[in-house]
Amino acid sequence: MNFKQELASILSDLLGQEISLKDLELMIEKPKNPEHGDLAFPCFTLAKLKRKSPNLIAEELCGKIQSPIFEKVTVVGAYLNVFLNKKTASEKVIGDIFAQKGKYGAHAFGNGGAVTIDMSSPNIAKPFSMGHLRSTVIGNSLALIVEKCGYKPIKINHLGDWGTQFGKLITAYQLWGDADKVKANPIKELLSLYIKFHEEAENNPSLEDQGRGWFKKLEDGDEQALALWKWFRDESLKEFSRIYELMNVQFDSYAGEAFYNDKMGRVVQLLEKQHLLVESEQAQVVELTEEQLPPCLIKKSDGATLYATRDLAAALYRQEEYQFVQSLYVVGHEQSLHFKQLIAVLAKMGYEWSKQMHHIPFGMMLKDGKKMSTRKGKVVLLEEVLNESIAMARHNIEEKNPNLSNKDEVAKQVGVGAVIFHDLKNNRMNDIEFSLEEMLRFEGETGPYVQYTYARACSIIRKATGKPQFSAATYSNSWEKEWKVTSLLMEFAPAVQRACVNFDPSQVAKYIIDLAQAFNKYYAEVKILEDSVEQQARLALVYAVTEVLKEGLRLLGLEAPDEM
Ligand code: ARG
């Protein structure tokens, strides 16, 4: 039980049944101003229930609250301000961190339920875009966060490996392709073939027919078509894997769009059986008039299936295969309509579990205020971006700590971490301005700043004579300078919980920035290693901070080098 819950339970005993324990807990706030204590309870809601002035209620409650975990309780207007007993609280939180280590801050409310996370999902034969980067980074962090809350995450890379574009690509390759060139530089080469197809098709419309023809062959299982498709897919995956390796991201499944090829017939049958499929301009659609959405296209006039058809099949498959309690789709906000339609069609089919599906949208990556595009010539190659970030981090390390032994490894952890942290520190709906200089700064709200703080704390521990140890006897109520950092340590679990229920990793990012800032301030004020009666308790605090910073970084997908 945390302190908030304890206060809620004391209030509940005093107030009786009128307000539930859960509601009381939700009403308790954390005052912004430390002079107002560690917890605050506003009495406005009670005033209506009890028909008494809120100030009077606060006064009455104040006289009755008694617990060894509180140092004092005061009243300011309609607020009860509660000050924790610093000795009891510090003992508890630091003791917990020593006992639980990396498990500190965990929750059990996920109950082992499966959460499928559709993430990254780049399109083969096309460059890995900034949008795919965001999806990878956000999805990976959400997987770690839901796992910390007791769910079982299943990371699915829904590769864009099927669709009419592959008919066009095969056509282009047959006409102008060169196997050696593709092998040497697959995505670049395939992309230029694809672009050439569109340029030529403007003057030669028969190319479009050929493209459709090849896609039809592909859907019908033609061997030659399939062999080329598979080769394009394998080569593309090799390139994507290098990016995933750099970012240390793994998937539980690579079942992409093509995987659902033999599973769409069933979807179409189910829709027909329920009379949900209607003909419109020779295509088959599901009308969504009641839902105030445009119709969802299921089959084209030539019988070819679509993106939405494959997503319907995928949703059914995921429910049957994993029995998800939640199914997340981490995809840019420009696909919001698609996911609304998808969920609406499944609801129309009577699937209750469609309510457990959530589109997790996010904003764009901008460069100088404009969208970073991967279309036409303006390709931003993500691998180059990551490698540049690593090179810059390496340069910084060379300047700051030339004697570091594993510079290359640390440069990778810092360089990649900087890009990830920059993505996750703001609410995901915000657009992000991409600036490597900004991301890599050692001051300010950056990944390297938090990593650097962690490394600094580790170095204090290395320099100390003994190992950090927890001993309850070392804490006292004069723990004043330490209090800000200590009380922040108690906020880790609530931050993790908020991140999980709102699908918002920035809650964890903001939290570790706060903790790092508070720790650096403390470190500037107090000579931790100086001989004093408090040395052991202080060293234990430093250790507690390292554990929480490291775990917070891990939940975002960043590593924490001990030295940098
Ligand atoms: N491949 C798609 C794209 O790049 C994203 C796929 C998202 N996931 C899904 N189940 N539709 O736009």
> Distance, CA 329 to ligand 1 centroid (Å)?
9
Residue nearest to atom 8 of ligand 1 (CA): 158
Residue of 165, 335, 339 best suited for mutating to test ligand 1, as the one with most atoms within 8 Å of CB = 335
Q: Are 229 and 218 spatial neighbours (Cβ–Cβ below 8 Å)? A: yes
- Listed in order, strand segments (DSSP E) in 300-456 are 326-330, 357-360, 365-367, 370-371, 432-433
pLDDT digits (tens, 9 = 90+) for 34-81: 889 999 999 999 998 888 999 999 999 999 998 888 999 999 999 999
What tokens were used for 500? 């999980």
Rounded Cα–Cα distance for residues 233 and 230 (Å): 5
Q: Is 311 in the pocket of ligand 1 (CB under 6 A)?
A: yes
Q: Is 123 in the pocket of ligand 1 (CB under 6 A)?
A: yes
Q: CB 516: neighbour CB atoms within 10 A?
A: 24
Q: Is 136 in the pocket of ligand 1 (CB under 6 A)?
A: no
> Distance, CA 221 to ligand 1 centroid (Å)?
23
Helix, strand or coil, per DSSP, at residue 294: coil
Rounded Cα–Cα distance for residues 545 and 534 (Å): 17
Can you give the three-state secondary structure of 67-126, one letter per residue?
CCCEEEEEEECCEEEEEECHHHHHHHHHHHHHHHHHHCCCCCCCCCCEEEEECCCCECCC
pLDDT of 376 reads: 45
Residue nearest to atom 1 of ligand 1 (CA): 160
pLDDT digits (tens, 9 = 90+) for 250-294: 999 999 999 999 999 999 999 999 999 999 988 999 999 999 999
> Distance, CA 331 to ligand 1 centroid (Å)?
7
* Single-letter residue type at 496: V
Helix, strand or coil, per DSSP, at residue 42: strand
Low-confidence spans in the chain with pLDDT less than 70: 1, 373-380
Instruction: Please provide the DSSP assignment of 349-381 as one string.
Output: TT-GGGGGEEEE----EEETTEE---STT----
> Distance, CA 226 to ligand 1 centroid (Å)?
22
> Distance, CA 497 to ligand 1 centroid (Å)?
28
According to DSSP, residue 405 is labeled: T
Which atom of ligand 1 lies nearest, measured to the CA of 126? Answer: 4
> Distance, CA 121 to ligand 1 centroid (Å)?
5
Q: Are 302 and 216 spatial neighbours (Cβ–Cβ below 8 Å)? A: yes
**Which helix (H) or strand (E) segment is 155 a member of?**
strand 152-156
Which atom of ligand 1 lies nearest, measured to the CA of 314? Answer: 10
Terminus-to-terminus CA distance in the chain, angstroms?
Answer: 37
Residue nearest to atom 5 of ligand 1 (CA): 121
Rounded Cα–Cα distance for residues 489 and 124 (Å): 44
> How many helices and strands in the chain, by DSSP H and E?
22, 13
Q: How remote is the C-alpha of 180 from its chain's centroid?
A: 39
The interaxial angle of helices 186-203 and 223-247, nearest 10 deg, is 130
Residue nearest to atom 4 of ligand 1 (CA): 122
According to DSSP, residue 253 is labeled: B
Which atom of ligand 1 lies nearest, measured to the CA of 307? Answer: 11
Burial class (CB within 10 angstroms; exposed 0-12, middle 13-18, buried 19+) of 284: buried
Residue of 119, 158, 312 best suited for mutating to test ligand 1, as the one with most atoms within 8 Å of CB = 158
Distances (CA, A) of 183 to 169, 236, 260, 391: 15, 10, 28, 27
Contacts made by residues 1-6, CB under 8 angstroms, sequence distance 24+: 2/490, 2/493, 2/494, 3/38, 3/39, 3/69, 3/84, 3/89, 3/490, 4/28, 4/39, 4/494, 6/67, 6/69
Q: Is 158 in the pocket of ligand 1 (CB under 6 A)?
A: yes
Q: Is 329 in the pocket of ligand 1 (CB under 6 A)?
A: yes
Count how many Cα atoms sit within 13 Å of the Cα of residue 339 in the half-sphere of its side chain: 18
Helix, strand or coil, per DSSP, at residue 156: strand
* Single-letter residue type at 377: G
The interaxial angle of helices 506-525 and 492-501, nearest 10 deg, is 160
pTM for this predicted structure: 0.94
Look up tokens 């209620």; give the residue. 57
Rounded Cα–Cα distance for residues 140 and 163 (Å): 27
Q: Is 331 in the pocket of ligand 1 (CB under 6 A)?
A: yes
pLDDT of 373 reads: 60
> Distance, CA 251 to ligand 1 centroid (Å)?
15
Q: ∠ at Cα 359 (354, 365), nearest 5°? A: 170
Q: Is 160 in the pocket of ligand 1 (CB under 6 A)?
A: yes
Q: Are 542 and 528 spatial neighbours (Cβ–Cβ below 8 Å)? A: yes
Q: Is 139 in the pocket of ligand 1 (CB under 6 A)?
A: no
Distances (CA, A) of 421 to 7, 246, 414, 510: 35, 15, 10, 10
Spell out the residues 6+ positions from residue 72 whose beta carbon is closer than 8 angstroms to its own.
83
pLDDT of 137 reads: 97
Rounded Cα–Cα distance for residues 259 and 173 (Å): 23
pLDDT digits (tens, 9 = 90+) for 210-230: 999 999 999 889 999 999 999
